[in-house]
Structure 1
Amino acid sequence: MHTITFISTIHEETGNCNAEELYKIIEKLSPEVIFLEAVEKTYSEYERYLFSTYGVYHKKLEIAAIQKYHKSNILFEYVPVCENSLSDALNRKNKIVHQNRERQQLINNFKFLAEKYGFKFLNSLESIILLEEIRVLESQLLNDNDVNEILKADIEAYENPMIRNIYSYCNNNHFNSAIFMCGAAHRKSIIEKIDRSKIEEQANLTWTIFES
């Protein structure tokens, strides 16, 4: 039986959302496989060399935490599960909505809570509710702008391969425990996809949603 724990993260350190705190979570779960929201080139051979030879940690929070875990446990598999990056639609959206004060206040509140409460907040219902509030406001600001629909389609095309690649790995490899780390902005959608996959996919797999 494969067991995968889904953990929401952010990609850059801020306050209590840092590599050391994430490492503690990983160490406690002691996974044999680590699935990450990343493409293959995110952790290059050169960056692996810098870490193994000089102890230089990666700038991406999750990979820095994985590197810390590697120091105490070398017998695990790192598996990046993204097939592509998000398109320019995300930047186009941000250019349209970035000056809205209400949105900025919501974002500042999210950042404050992440800094103060760390991964406990990122993996909470409160985080999902706040991010959904931001999304609803952004949709209202975009109104009928085609960027909104393009971005929704892009996010689906970005997230679906992650779940598909995890199941593919599970069907072709033996392990007991794993984790899947993905940015908190995707938490609600990924949980919904996980719930659907339990019905649609034929796999000897149990999902756990991390809530610290």
Structure 2
Amino acid sequence: MFNITVLSSFHKMYGKCNPGELYKIIEEIRPNIIFEELSHEVFKVIYSFDYQPQTVEAITIKNYLQKYSVKHFPVDNYPIKETDLFSDAQIIWDGSSEYRDLWNNKLLRLSQDGYKFLNSNECIEMLDRMRIIEETFLTQTNNVKLLNEHRTEKALHEKRENEMLRAIYYYSGQYAFDKALFICGAEHRKPLRQKTKEYEANEPLKLKWTFYNDNQ
């Protein structure tokens, strides 16, 4: 009971990151419940009858629901303000050849290996290195405005992750399940590993967390 798999994804279609590949993974897991990185408002729009979704996840889940009857819930409900987001990654792209190389390599691996890459330690290490370059570049160029935005966005994502986990535990308390799936962006994989351990230790409801492809 209460087995939940965290699957890292990329919201845009790119090479082997596409609805067909994601559908195979969901069908392999066969979850009773799917938790989505969406707010309530966006969720209502996407799953209205005549809306044509744009993200890989929404396209896939809409197709999956035509064949399988599963519950699915939006869990990303922490409010996002435009002022909390980093506004100019282009300045780092223009100023760091290593950053450009990492981005291009990330896209190459995403195209070739799709979800296998997104759910790997290699992807985590690449994203970590990119964040270090961002912070180092902004500090060295003394761009206080963008550095503050970068730190604010990082804090925002931490709050979003806490909210998503809170919502998952809430819904899990309302609806018993054998297998659940939580699909979210690859940048959340590393922090969610630590946060789920903390929740496991402190929450009375015990969920068994698994991260897709962790042992491969």
Pairwise same-fold verdict (TM > 0.5): yes
Counterpart code for 2:54: K
After TM superposition, the structure 1 stretch with the greater mean CA deviation from structure 2, 96-105 or 86-95, is: 86-95
Task: Say which SS state the counterpart of residue 80 (structure 2) adopts.
Answer: coil
CA distance in 1, matches of 2:170, 2:190: 22
Q: Give the number of equivalent residue pairs.
A: 206
Counterpart code for 2:14: T
Residue 188 of structure 2: aligned partner: 186
Task: Say which SS state the counterpart of residue 7 (structure 1) adopts.
Answer: strand
Pairwise CA distance, 1:151: 2.0
**Correspondences of 1:12-31 after superposition (within 5 Å):** 12-31=12-31
CA distance in 1, matches of 2:157, 2:32: 28
- Structure 1 residue ranges, 4+ long, deviating more than 4 angstroms after superposition: none
Residue 77 of structure 1: aligned partner: 71
After TM superposition, the structure 1 stretch with the greater mean CA deviation from structure 2, 144-153 or 195-204, is: 144-153
Kept after mapping to 1: 8 A contact 2:8/2:119: yes
**Correspondences of 1:1-212 after superposition (within 5 Å):** 1-45=1-45, 47-50=47-50, 56=52, 58-73=53-68, 75-83=69-77, 84-85=79-80, 87-100=82-95, 101-143=97-139, 145-211=147-213
Deviations 1:99-149 (A, max 9, x none): 233212211111110110010000011110111110111110121632233
Pairwise CA distance, 1:23: 0.6
Kept after mapping to 1: 8 A contact 2:32/2:177: yes
Kept after mapping to 2: 8 A contact 1:7/1:210: yes
Counterpart code for 2:39: V
CA RMSD of aligned residues (A): 1.8
Pairwise CA distance, 1:71: 2.2
Pairwise CA distance, 1:47: 4.9
Deviations 1:84-109 (A, max 9, x none): 33643433252542323321221111
CA distance in 1, matches of 2:185, 2:168: 16
Pairwise CA distance, 1:193: 1.1
Structure 1 portions without partners, runs of 5+: none
Kept after mapping to 1: 8 A contact 2:39/2:75: yes
CA distance in 2, matches of 1:204, 1:171: 10
